[in-house]
Structure 1
């Protein structure tokens, strides 16, 4: 079922407002720590700021200022007076030596690409942003360097959710899946590893497909996965699919494209086939979750006509297209949900 009602505490003090207004400083401190590799340098044990500075090749005064900021927000901790160590979360997710490291996702995609897009929001709200400045995925992914940075970091960030999805949806009877806008195939790889009879087709932009093929090859799935290079909204979709995956797709396209995507899915699926929609979705009362709401806002910065998704809105759109739609469930807690739509037999 969809998440329970969320009570959001009202902001009451100047300090609370300041915490929100200056939150970007904490974000940049985290990203800078990743770029300097502070968290990896601390993976083997506590060090002083001076020791970190020497290993990182950065002047000590700068490392002292940075690590003080990181300690003030709880990402680093002090031990034995002057020595610094990773917080549990930093150790588990931000060190290159960690099995669950997703630092590249934050280091490259969030800091270097998503963060700058937010500077466009004021102009987007007033319709003052020139068409040339609105970087749709199609134009963005035509740039080989940008496509590489985005795709490789997104891959790192999607492997974990892909494993979760494989546990949430039973695809043991499915043989053919279409991953629409599937990027480098992180979700597809997780699903194919979980279900040995599953074969998949991924549709994404040509530059992304090139990068993705390397990941597919490294996963040993070249005989079970193929790419169709192109814009997922405009490309021809193969038919007779048992399942279709749309992960982080619907929140990143103009609202008017959603009906087109669902119609194409209907034509592509076998009777009894399912669409798995994984995306940022807010609750019906529109009070959160905050991370889902903020991600939707970020998407609007480069897709001004994107729709703010909720399970109810998506369910209504799916039913209108003829699908039976479930009530949705959390996939990444407090951030994304999974909604499954079934084409009647």
Structure 2
């Protein structure tokens, strides 16, 4: 998500604790029918509804004409969106963006992350959840489980995922650069670093930093364009390949793993920690940014739901918590340098240090 999203979340009050056990049929229905609200949001994005409303309120007739969509469909869609607060409808029947839609879903906005929702979440993440029932029972064939490696081998799927993920990672990357002191680091290894959004943010913050990103060839090709546009071709290089299986360069001052550990089989986490320990120079830092739940496993909801999402295409993925992860790191020899929220109520940052 873009920088302002993270900044605005950081500026808000401490995230609310996990919800209390629900009691009514209405509360159950809200959960059961929640997919309808998300699909309404995605449909609005696909017809550019929020962009069309960015210059001011419109009647349903005006909006239907501008979108080229039949009036009855616009009325039904905007009614649904108004019911969940994404848009509002005035007494004069004027339809208007909510503040969130105006700031984050209209293409004119500096902080628009609609493409991330429109393409990656709706077109890729959402369909994977249809596999969840079969995954839970172990009924899904090996061929039906689209591993990340096979998925990224598809050029079109790699492009859709990577370009939308890049937009979604720029803000957390800038936040990461403010939270971790890499002033003394000269080398960074970004394992599974995708299109380099995090690396670009770190390199912009620390001008003496040179980075290596490991990711699949199709992803690396897309990422190189972003690296070039950022003017960092002399400071960032790619190693195309499977980041989990590839040989990593050694004597690194810092290693980053963002959204990696929640998407690999649980038994691979210790292997990743061990490879990082071996690849770091003495005194080096390992930064793990990922979806992590609290130790009592009652939330936060967004982190828990994202972990469930990952399990839908990686059945052996582990539900990460800070305590579980830090204990795994200590067993390998790491010290825990810092633990913090990165995207409140969703992701956490654990910084390990290799003893000098």
Normalization by structure 2: what TM-score? Answer: 0.95
Partner of 1:141, secondary structure, is helix
Which residue of 2 is the match for residue 144 of structure 1? 155
For 2:204 and 2:153, the matched residues in 1 are separated by 30
Which residue of 2 is the match for residue 222 of structure 1? 233
Q: How does 1:230-269 map to 2 (within 5 A)?
A: 230-269=241-280
Q: Does 1:199 align with 2:210?
A: yes
Which residue of 2 is the match for residue 159 of structure 1? 170
Asked whether the equivalents of residues 179 and 200 of structure 1 are also in contact (C-alpha less than 8 Å), the reply is yes
Asked whether the equivalents of residues 151 and 183 of structure 1 are also in contact (C-alpha less than 8 Å), the reply is yes
For 1:68 and 1:5, the matched residues in 2 are separated by 28
Which residue of the other structure, out of 325, 334, 341, is the alignment partner of 1:314?
325
Describe the superposition over 1:287-324 as per-residue Cα deviations: whole angstroms up to 9, x where unpaired. Answer: 00000000000000000000000000000110011100
Which residue of 1 is the match for residue 4 of structure 2? none
Which residue of 2 is the match for residue 77 of structure 1? 88
For 1:91 and 1:11, the matched residues in 2 are separated by 32
Q: How does 1:330-345 map to 2 (within 5 A)?
A: 330-345=341-356
Normalization by structure 1: what TM-score? Answer: 0.98
Which residue of the other structure, out of 117, 129, 145, is the alignment partner of 2:128?
117
Describe the superposition over 1:239-272 as per-residue Cα deviations: whole angstroms up to 9, x where unpaired. Answer: 1111000000000000111111111111111000
Q: Point out where structure 2 has 5 or more consecutive residues left out of the alignment.
A: 1-13
Q: How does 1:56-67 map to 2 (within 5 A)?
A: 56-67=67-78
Which residue of 2 is the match for residue 278 of structure 1? 289
For 1:67 and 1:176, the matched residues in 2 are separated by 50
Q: What is the CA-CA distance between 1:91 and the residue it aligns to?
A: 0.7
Q: What is the CA-CA distance between 1:79 and the residue it aligns to?
A: 3.3
Which residue of the other structure, out of 31, 41, 49, is the alignment partner of 1:20?
31
For 1:128 and 1:183, the matched residues in 2 are separated by 31
Asked whether the equivalents of residues 18 and 300 of structure 2 are also in contact (C-alpha less than 8 Å), the reply is no
Q: Point out where structure 1 has 5 or more consecutive residues left out of the alignment.
A: none
Q: Would you say how many aligned residue pairs link Structure 1 and Structure 2?
A: 343
Asked whether the equivalents of residues 47 and 85 of structure 1 are also in contact (C-alpha less than 8 Å), the reply is yes
Which residue of 1 is the match for residue 8 of structure 2? none
Asked whether the equivalents of residues 216 and 241 of structure 2 are also in contact (C-alpha less than 8 Å), the reply is yes
